[in-house]
Amino acid sequence: MTKKTEWEIQQAKIDADRKKAMKSMTEEQIEVIKKTHNALEDVLTNIQDIEDIYLSDIRALNECMWKLKHEFNLGYNHGEK
């Protein structure tokens, strides 16, 4: 068995931290992240394929943005930054 490089050790730690973070999220938060990822992927594919964006893409991005703000307390909350 070969010894792991410093990069491999760091990468394993990053991966472990990401898995731990995902396990600490609620089902709603995970769902919001998945929907946002899918919406971003769809919009970017449309832009790349036909150099256009559909109103439904804009609507999906807007919905995801607000769900992210709500689920992760992004933006302003009760006058706080």
DSSP string, 34-67: HHHHHHHHHHHHHHHHHS---HHHHHHHHHHHHH
> Is the Cβ–Cβ distance between 36 and 67 less than 8 Å?
yes
- The answer to whether 47 and 29 have CB atoms below 8 angstroms apart is no
Q: Is 16 inside a domain boundary?
A: no
| Reported pTM | 0.61
Run means of pLDDT, 10 residues per run, the chain, 81 residues: 91 92 92 91 85 83 88 66 48
Q: What is the domain count for the chain?
A: 1
Would residue 40 count as lying in a domain?
A: yes
**Range(s) of the domain holding residue 57:** 26-75
Within a domain: 1: no
Question: Does residue 13 lie in a domain region?
Answer: no
pLDDT at position 54: 81
At residue 76, the pLDDT reads 60
Residue 56 domain flag: yes
pLDDT recorded at residue 71: 84
Is residue 54 within 8 A of residue 40, CB to CB? The reply is: no
Does residue 71 contact residue 78 with C-beta atoms inside 8 Å? Answer: no
